[in-house]
Amino acid sequence: MIFETHAHYDDDAFDNDRDEILRLLNEKGIAPIVDIGASVASTKAAVSLAHKYAQVYAAAGVHPSDSGDLTDKDIDWLKGLCDDPKVVAIGEIGLDYHYDEPDREVQKKWFVRQLELAVETGLPIVVHSRDAAADTYKILSRDEFRGLKGIIHCFSYSAEFAEKYVKMGYLIGVGGVVTFKNGRKLHEVVRQTPLENIVVETDCPYLAPEPYRGRRNSSAYLPYIIERIASIKGSSYEEVRQATYENAALLYGVRADG
């Protein structure tokens, strides 16, 4: 089995063949799949997908770019969802200064509020951080968040930052970018990060790996990511598949085989 730690099957891009794809992935041994909420609406959709498919689990959370309209009521609503046994994480949450919208202070406020929710519920976190390395690290290093576990998803920072996160116990989410020729920075991160701290993800429908770059992504392409990690680390495919499966199963607390 391959553990898909980050997917968005609730996205419109799958409206025409969602059922078919999820059935096929199950047959191919891609399970479990964690469908990641990125807004109030997509969190709702992720939870309902998780109820429909045995192998699908949900993360509940609001992406920084969608945090502009958040209210305390939404946080209470998210908290209520955390009792659902199919909700396995708070995410994706974080900071995105690439689009820089909404205001950075607003993003930070709701990132912190959702981190507090993770502390309250004991759930792991899925962190989205883009062009915001220093602020993300500063917030996650606060004493009150030191006990949190989670994934720094679609890791895009230096090997030095990866090492800091690994020391804090975080997992590094590696996706399609690792197959890109211009993915040198990520190759260095993968080379240096112990296999015990790596998980695989697609972030589908976005970021399809080579040779499908630019097309709609799906978890069926995870083997290309595993293969590339194996070649960078000089490990076997099976070693990487198994380690990334166990890392994800331990973090999210679920397995395909019960």
> How near is the Cβ of 172 to Zn ion at its closest, in Å?
15
Task: Judge residue 184's burial from the number of C-beta atoms within 10 Å of its C-beta, 0-12 exposed, 13-18 middle, 19 or more buried.
Answer: exposed
> How near is the Cβ of 211 to Zn ion at its closest, in Å?
22
> How near is the Cβ of 128 to Zn ion at its closest, in Å?
6
Question: Segment 66-95, which members bind Zn ion (CB under 5 A)?
Answer: none
Question: Per-residue x/- mask for Zn ion, residues 162 to 201, rule CB under 5 A?
Answer: ----------------------------------------
C-alpha 131/C-alpha 121 separation (Å) is: 28
- Of the pair 110, 233, the CB lying nearest Zn ion is at 110
Question: Per-residue x/- mask for Zn ion, residues 215 to 244, rule CB under 5 A?
Answer: ------------------------------
- Of the pair 118, 230, the CB lying nearest Zn ion is at 118
- Of the pair 36, 81, the CB lying nearest Zn ion is at 36
Task: Judge residue 201's burial from the number of C-beta atoms within 10 Å of its C-beta, 0-12 exposed, 13-18 middle, 19 or more buried.
Answer: buried
From residue 174, how far is each of 56, 122, 164, 205, 214 by CA, in Å? 20, 24, 16, 15, 17
- Of the pair 74, 203, the CB lying nearest Zn ion is at 203
- Of the pair 38, 198, the CB lying nearest Zn ion is at 38
> How near is the Cβ of 154 to Zn ion at its closest, in Å?
7
CA 90 to chain centre: 10
Question: Segment 105-134, which members bind Zn ion (CB under 5 A)?
Answer: none
> How near is the Cβ of 111 to Zn ion at its closest, in Å?
15
C-alpha 31/C-alpha 101 separation (Å) is: 34
# binding residues, Zn ion (CB under 5 A): 1
- Of the pair 14, 230, the CB lying nearest Zn ion is at 14
- Residue 144's contacts (CB-CB under 8 Å, 6 or more residues apart) are 116, 119
C-alpha 257/C-alpha 217 separation (Å) is: 25
Q: Which stretch binds Zn ion (CB under 5 A): 77-85, 94-102, 202-210, 223-231?
A: 202-210
> How near is the Cβ of 4 to Zn ion at its closest, in Å?
12
Per residue in 6-26, is it b (16+ CB within 10 Å) or e — as a string?
bbbbbbebbeeebeebbeebb
Q: Which stretch binds Zn ion (CB under 5 A): 50-58, 71-79, 203-211, 235-243?
A: 203-211
Q: Residue 100, Cβ neighbours under 10 Å: how many?
A: 15
C-alpha 178/C-alpha 224 separation (Å) is: 9
Structure tokens at 246: 């166990």
> How near is the Cβ of 92 to Zn ion at its closest, in Å?
5
Q: Does the footprint of Zn ion cover residue 203 (CB under 5 A)?
A: yes
C-alpha 73/C-alpha 76 separation (Å) is: 5
Closest-CB residue for Zn ion? Answer: 203
Chain contacts with Zn ion (rule: CB under 5 A): 203
